[in-house]
Structure 1
Amino acid sequence: MKKIFSYTRQHKFVTIMGAISMLLCVSADLVVPYITEIFIDDVLTAGKYEILTTIIWIVVGITAIKFAFGFLREFLFDYLGITISRKIKEELFNHIEGLSFSYFDKVNTGELMSRVGEDADNILEIMGFGLRLTIEDGIYFIMAAVLLFRISVPLTLVALATMPIIAVLALKSEKQLNDVYERISDHIAELNTTAQENIAGVKLVKAFGREKHEILKFLRYNSKNYDLQMEHNKIWVKFFPLEEFLTNLSTVLVISIGGILAIYDQITVGQLVGFTSYLWMLTWPMRDLGWLINLLSRGKASIGKINKILAIEPKVADCENPEELKGINEGIVFENVSFNYGEKDVLKNINLNIPAGSTVAVMGTTGSGKSTLISLLGRNYDVTKGCIKIDGEDIRNLKVKSLRDNIALIPQDSFLFSDTVESNLKYGKLDASMEEMEKVVELACAKEFVDELDEGYDTLIGERGVGLSGGQKQRLCIARALLRDSKILILDDSTSALDMDTEYQLLKNLYEEEDKKTTFIIAHRISAVKNADLILYMEDGVIVEQGNHQQLLDKKGKYFEIYETQFKDFLDLSDDKAANF
């Protein structure tokens, strides 16, 4: 809750004006029973009709105050709640965006969606309604109790007799509700994750005919959610009706005993009516108590979940006085680089010297560490041992943003946003001109199919590029990276969906560019890597072979085996032709 109150300090004027409006409304309400008491005892009973006009004007004034400041109170507290909810969502989203890759390796998308959505909205309910009503009810209770003692001490003690029992019940219900809300919040995140994954992978589900399996899986999660909600409901119905009964019992006792006191002239009729009105201000907060505890428990659980995320520090961050990376003139050096993921050795003692402007191709078996090697270059993860240097400077001494600004990545997963072709391209460079976009689209061999789209660059493409083929998506992703015009270009198996001719032409365009970038190509096809300046072959996190295409063929090692496998038919055909001659 401390964090929530820190936001209210940023809006002191709204908070203070809301509090003043609330106090004026409460004060107006507290005056009404006293005016009623005077009206009955002095006007109706004693016949002092000369004060009737004054009483009417006071009631009109109270009504006007409640109307004006009641509106202001509701508006200001709603505004405060909405503003705080917005700021929390912004802060939470900004914080999530700044977390390291390692965090997203372990967390589910559905859980984060629950925190940014449902949990932040729970805070809106607390600030806009729950917290304000808690304070308001507290003031009503204290002031009404003071005024009740003014009218009749014995009757007030009768009215307060049931209150300690209600307080004990409220504390017990809060403890149980907190526990169940923690579990409900966690489970809703799991439920959201299941739904999100299923909807995102709906094509795979249908392709495998697994609709029934997924429906049953969702039903299991939904059934558990039902059980948790019913557990919450049982706690609610166990305490709330009893609290309701005790507050009503208090009213019955006061009316009964108060009537006897009025008959024996211990109190006046006006005082009894006024006392009953004040009693309502005493019992109403007690009626609200169960509901408010319910709301505050839910909010407390949500705040705890949000704070848990906000407490996470990014593992990759700037050092104290980071340097700006303005370009690459000399090259990139890997010095005894090792990387562990948990207890698993992913990379072991990697040593490389890559001149600026050269092309490095990386091949190897699945899980050999190819993508990890490239991830370390952009500080998606930090090396466990050794260091990576650009122009002699350890990349850990560089600003993370300036480092990544100099890297354009085309990932294995061709991710496109649900937007126009132009917007997806400009994700690489927001101020890009049409001429620049057309140039990179041509370099990426995407011009032909983009021109054939119904609305060209203004064509809306579906979620994650739905409506485009795998090869078309890859070419748009490559064009987007080229538009970024960074000094380092990384193609992480990003030509796998292209046919051989398109792949050849695209790579040829990259090799022939005037402003040659330091390029890394991760691929499985010899055709994609054979023209690289340096080819690495990796196994189990170790570089087992390196050299250019011809050097690796001459070694007759792993690379040569792949070459023979991929070009077997061509080599056999060449041998047959040679035999005929």
Structure 2
Amino acid sequence: MKELGYLNKYFVKYKWRLLLGVIITIIATVFKLVVPMKVGDSITEVKQYLNGTITDLEAVKHSLLINILLLLGAALLSGLFTFMMRQTFIVVSRYVEYDLKNEVFKHYEKLSLGFYKQNRTGDLMNRISEDVSKVRMYVGPALMYSITTVTLFIVVVTYMFYKAPILTLYAIAPLPILSIAIYKLSVLINHRTTIVQQYLSKLTTFTQESFSGIAVIKAYGIEPRTNENFEDLAEGSKNKNIDLAKVQALFFPLMMLLIGVSNILVIYIGGTRYINGQIAEFGTIVEFLIYVNMLTWPVAVVGWVTSMVQQAEASQKRINEFLSVEPAIQNLTEERTPICGNIEFNNLTFTYPDTGITALNNVSFSVKPGETLAIVGNTGSGKSTILELIGRLYDVGDGMLKIDGNSIKNLNLNDLRDSMGYVPQDAFLFSDSIKNNIRFGKENASDDEVREAAKNAAVHTNIEGFSKGYDTVLGERGITLSGGQKQRVSIARAIIKNPQILLFDDCLSAVDTETEEEILQNLQKISANKTTIIVSHRISSAKNADKIIVLEDGKIIQQGTHAALVAKEGYYKELYAKQLLEKEI
């Protein structure tokens, strides 16, 4: 159970609630103990009356009535405290589930992009949902039934020893056999549960990717092949679940067998000792039978609890695997570091740690607040990498990246990212209203601010054309909108934030030239005192920038203004002439 040791901090956090649950459990168990005692007393009195030891019938009736009332009262109070016990332990398990899911999610948010490139979304989702649910069963039902079982055994077996020591030894004799069997089965369950969870992650990943890429699947007509692949995974998952179920199915028959043996021993040994006069009261045998059967459910629960604990252990191990991953990007200072926007690259070389590809090679440039820098170049030349490094999505390798004269690593990470408005190349929108998607950049933005940002992004007219306007709810990943509309909503989201640094990663590629020109003119006014970096394949997006750099294979091969670069031979002039010709055609 070493992996489950991670949860000890939650037990400490909710220790008073758990302590209350233990006290309530003890009280409920004590009241349960009254029932067999009174049944035994009643049978003893009836036996004594029938034997003639007691002759007063009215006294016997009165005693039986009192016992019945005590039985009813004890049963009702036991039921009440059992209800309170469940409320205490199950509620705590829900609190722990809530805390653990939040902890896992927050940790996911801290992990670097490299982590998400190496791990699949379906597996991440399965660990925060299915695995955490398995762990909750350990914190809630497993813990509750374990405490109930231990308490019941201590109270009941102690009383049984007090009443008839020899008979008690015979009654509990099968339990060591049960313990050994449980241990053996638990090892198998732990191993097979891990495999089942791994298959579940594969199924979740496959279905998530299939639904996200359903348009591609339909376009290529590969529904049958996709279905076959799913059936293969489902078949494997079914077989592994059946293997697990076979082992789990051994528990309850084994429990009932051993409880049955205990009953036989109580009847035979108890009856023999009563006949021999070694047990004074006949009611003791009946009482012991009730106690043994009262222990049936707790003993049977041992198997169920063991199964839950082993499944939780396997799931917590999977959760711990990710929780133990240290974020590659660490916030090295808690002090506030206001950002002005003076960006400087000095002989910077960067290689992606996950692929080993060198994206930038000895790159140097600077851009000051109020200036606009445009970056052009072929696909794979390193343009987007520059923006990722400025946002500190990756840490720099060789060389230096400074902002406001300080190494980017020495800046408060939250302040750094709060100062930026980033529009990625692949615009991502959430399954929410258009208004809320724009407000993602500024949570408390007014409706007027949302509209103004949309106007500056040249998407206001499109939004107004929808039946519900800004309240239109988008499909997953913004599938309701066209490519150009998604890009413009993303631009509006960055603009409304009013950041000190604006980063645009080829975010006008799906926009027509007239709309592009309108957006660029609006950006010129908006970015008057801001640092703006525009990555683009289009010269039209770069020509008005204060500085332009041309990248090729991670190196700067040209830099200057539009006029200067057009005036000399090279990549920029050739690209400009080619795009000008395309526009004329």
Q: Which amino acid aligns with 2:222?
A: R
Count, aligned residues: 570
> In the aligned structure 1, how far is the partner of 2:203 from the partner of 2:295?
42
Q: How far is 1:44 from its partner?
A: 4.2
> In the aligned structure 2, how far is the partner of 1:390 from the partner of 1:112?
34
2:22 to 8, 16, 19: 19
> In the aligned structure 2, how far is the partner of 1:229 from the partner of 1:141?
33
**8 Å contact kept, 2:171–2:292:** yes
**8 Å contact kept, 1:144–1:279:** no
Q: Which residue of 2 aligns with 1:288?
A: 301
Q: Deviations 1:273-331 (Å, cap 9, x if unpaired)?
A: 01111212344333222211111111112222222222222221221454412433xx2
Moved more, 477-486 or 132-141: 132-141
Q: Which residue of 2 aligns with 1:58?
A: 70
1:519 to 532, 537, 557: 532
Q: Which amino acid aligns with 1:230?
A: I
Give the RMSD, CA atoms, in angstroms: 2.1
Moved more, 53-62 or 224-233: 53-62
Q: Is there any run of 5+ residues in structure 2 with no aligned partner, and where?
A: none
Q: Which amino acid aligns with 1:559?
A: Y
**8 Å contact kept, 1:141–1:281:** no
Q: Which residue of 2 aligns with 1:579?
A: none
Q: Which residue of 2 aligns with 1:82?
A: 94
Moved more, 511-520 or 212-221: 511-520
Q: Is there any run of 5+ residues in structure 1 with no aligned partner, and where?
A: 574-581
> In the aligned structure 2, how far is the partner of 1:145 from the partner of 1:325?
68
Q: Deviations 1:189-222 (Å, cap 9, x if unpaired)?
A: 1211111111111112111112112111111211
Moved more, 263-272 or 405-414: 263-272
> In the aligned structure 1, how far is the partner of 2:311 from the partner of 2:546?
60
> In the aligned structure 2, how far is the partner of 1:43 from the partner of 1:9?
51
Q: How far is 1:22 from its partner?
A: 0.8
Q: How far is 1:33 from its partner?
A: 1.8
> In the aligned structure 2, how far is the partner of 1:338 from the partner of 1:263?
94
**8 Å contact kept, 1:345–1:541:** yes
Q: Which residue of 2 aligns with 1:302?
A: 315
**8 Å contact kept, 1:409–1:491:** yes
Secondary structure at 2:181 match in 1 = helix
Q: Superposed, which structure 2 residues align to 1:378-389 within 5 Å?
A: 378-389=391-402
2:248 to 236, 246, 252: 236
Q: Which residue of 2 aligns with 1:359?
A: 372
> In the aligned structure 2, how far is the partner of 1:515 from the partner of 1:348?
31
Q: Superposed, which structure 2 residues align to 1:190-269 within 5 Å?
A: 190-238=202-250, 240-267=252-279, 268-269=281-282
Q: Which residue of 2 aligns with 1:72?
A: 84
1:110 to 98, 122, 128: 122
**8 Å contact kept, 1:147–1:278:** no
**8 Å contact kept, 1:362–1:520:** yes
Q: How far is 1:262 from its partner?
A: 2.8
- Work out whether 1:132 is the aligned partner of 2:121: no
Q: Which amino acid aligns with 1:164?
A: P
**8 Å contact kept, 1:169–1:243:** no
Q: Which amino acid aligns with 1:110?
A: G
Moved more, 257-266 or 310-319: 257-266
**8 Å contact kept, 1:323–1:397:** no
Secondary structure at 2:118 match in 1 = coil
Q: Deviations 1:138-175 (Å, cap 9, x if unpaired)?
A: 22223333233333333333223322221111001111
> In the aligned structure 2, how far is the partner of 1:307 from the partner of 1:469?
41
Q: How far is 1:62 from its partner?
A: 1.2
Q: Which amino acid aligns with 1:143?
A: V
Q: Which residue of 2 aligns with 1:34?
A: 37
Q: Percentage identity across aligned positions?
A: 35
**8 Å contact kept, 2:266–2:285:** no
Length-normalised TM-score, structure 1: 0.93
Q: Which residue of 1 aligns with 2:451?
A: 438
> In the aligned structure 2, how far is the partner of 1:569 from the partner of 1:122?
60
Q: Which amino acid aligns with 1:350?
A: V
- Work out whether 1:8 is the aligned partner of 2:22: no
Moved more, 465-474 or 483-492: 465-474
Q: Which amino acid aligns with 2:224?
A: K
Q: Which residue of 2 aligns with 1:552?
A: 565
Secondary structure at 1:486 match in 2 = coil
Q: Which amino acid aligns with 2:505?
A: D
Q: Superposed, which structure 2 residues align to 1:377-526 within 5 Å?
A: 377-513=390-526, 515-526=528-539
Length-normalised TM-score, structure 2: 0.92
Q: Which residue of 1 aligns with 2:173?
A: 161
| Distance 1:447-1:570 versus aligned 2 partners, 3 A rule | closer
Q: How far is 1:392 from its partner?
A: 0.8
Q: How far is 1:486 from its partner?
A: 0.5
Secondary structure at 1:498 match in 2 = coil
> In the aligned structure 1, how far is the partner of 2:448 from the partner of 2:334?
39
**8 Å contact kept, 1:43–1:51:** no
Q: Which amino acid aligns with 1:212?
A: P
Q: Deviations 1:492-516 (Å, cap 9, x if unpaired)?
A: 1111111111112211221243734
Q: How far is 1:520 from its partner?
A: 1.2
> In the aligned structure 2, how far is the partner of 1:483 from the partner of 1:26?
62
Secondary structure at 1:362 match in 2 = strand
Secondary structure at 1:566 match in 2 = helix
**8 Å contact kept, 1:453–1:459:** yes
